[in-house]
């Protein structure tokens, strides 16, 4: 909700007014919140991988390990880490001067694109992005996917009934992970990532609008009560 709220209202405003103008201060503020919510989501996906690991590989100790205080500390840790990381980039961004007349080829302010329209030397900023992307991004990516190697190994040793239940537990989380990382990698790491095309804009819309939209659907549709309620609603509509 937070991630979508940073981009969608501004996008709708620009589409309605046809002005497509934003002040530098507002642009940097938008970048701050975009980075904060994006990193928070990545980190929470990694925490959820750990949660799935404990639930499947150590089910008898799950309540003792993932107790209420542990969950609160993990979420607080994610939020503090995201704020510190984002502030580092924003502080270095504020030291730059920008050629305001150069337009951004996107419907929201993005850090790499904003650096392209800077009149200052952006070597430090680019170096900072590369180092943090490799160290922090690589670390979060590993923490997200590594538990699934152990989970898969554990699942293979289970009975068919237990295996089906375990796969059901992980399916929603893995779906969200692949959608989020797939669109992000396509937008920022394909060969022509610097040349912002219409395809990149579609990918940006996908991970800023559609992914947050389908998240609650993916998670909630696993709930049996919601499944029963949906079936009842569909039956009533068919009867009408």
Q: Which long-range contacts (CB under 8 A, 24 or more apart) does 185-193 make?
A: 188/112, 193/112
Picking from 205, 211, 193, the residue whose alpha carbon sits closest to that of residue 116 is: 193
Q: Is residue 41's pLDDT more than 70?
A: yes
| Residue 127, SS3 per DSSP | helix
Which residues partner with 98 through β-bridges?
Answer: 118
| Residue 107, SS3 per DSSP | coil
**Residue 26 structural domain:** 2-239
167: number of Cβ within 10 Å: 15
The pTM score is 0.81
User: What CATH number is given to the structural domain containing 235?
Assistant: 1.20.1070.10
Query: What is the percent of the chain where pLDDT is above 90?
Result: 24
Q: Where does the pLDDT of residue 40 fall: very low under 50, low under 70, confident under 90, or very high at 90 and above? A: very high
Q: Is residue 210's pLDDT more than 80?
A: no
Q: Where does the pLDDT of residue 72 fall: very low under 50, low under 70, confident under 90, or very high at 90 and above? A: very high
94-110 average pLDDT score: 72
Joined together, the tokens standing for residue 105 give 């080829």
131-149 pLDDT tens trace = 888 888 889 989 999 999 9
Q: Is residue 201's pLDDT more than 80?
A: no
Q: Where does the pLDDT of residue 199 fall: very low under 50, low under 70, confident under 90, or very high at 90 and above? A: low
Average pLDDT of the residues of the chain: 82
Domain count, the chain: 1
Q: What is the pLDDT of residue 129?
A: 85
């Amino acid at each position: 909700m937070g991630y979508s709220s940073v981009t969608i209202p501004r996008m709708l405003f620009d589409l309605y007014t046809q002005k497509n103008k934003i002040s530098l201060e507002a642009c940097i503020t938008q970048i701050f919140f975009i980075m904060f919510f994006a990193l928070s989501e990545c980190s929470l996906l990694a925490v959820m991988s750990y949660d799935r690991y404990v639930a499947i590989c150590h089910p008898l100790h799950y309540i003792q390990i993932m107790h209420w205080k542990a969950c609160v500390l993990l979420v607080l840790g994610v939020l503090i880490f995201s704020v510190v990381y984002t502030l580092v980039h924003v502080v270095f961004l504020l030291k730059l001067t920008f050629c305001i007349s150069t337009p951004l080829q996107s419907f929201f302010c993005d850090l790499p694109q904003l650096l392209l329209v800077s009149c200052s030397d952006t070597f430090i900023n680019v170096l900072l992005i590369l180092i943090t992307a490799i160290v922090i991004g690589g670390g979060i990516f590993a923490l997200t996917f590594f538990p699934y190697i152990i989970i898969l190994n554990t699942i293979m040793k289970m009975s068919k009934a237990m295996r089906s239940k375990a796969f059901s537990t992980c399916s929603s989380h893995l779906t969200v992970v692949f959608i989020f990382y797939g669109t992000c990698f396509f937008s920022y790491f394909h060969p022509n990532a610097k040349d912002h095309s219409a395809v990149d804009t579609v990918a940006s819309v996908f991970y800023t609008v559609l992914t947050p939209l389908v998240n609650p659907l993916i998670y909630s549709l696993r709930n049996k009560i919601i499944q029963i309620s949906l079936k009842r609603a569909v039956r009533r509509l068919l009867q009408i």
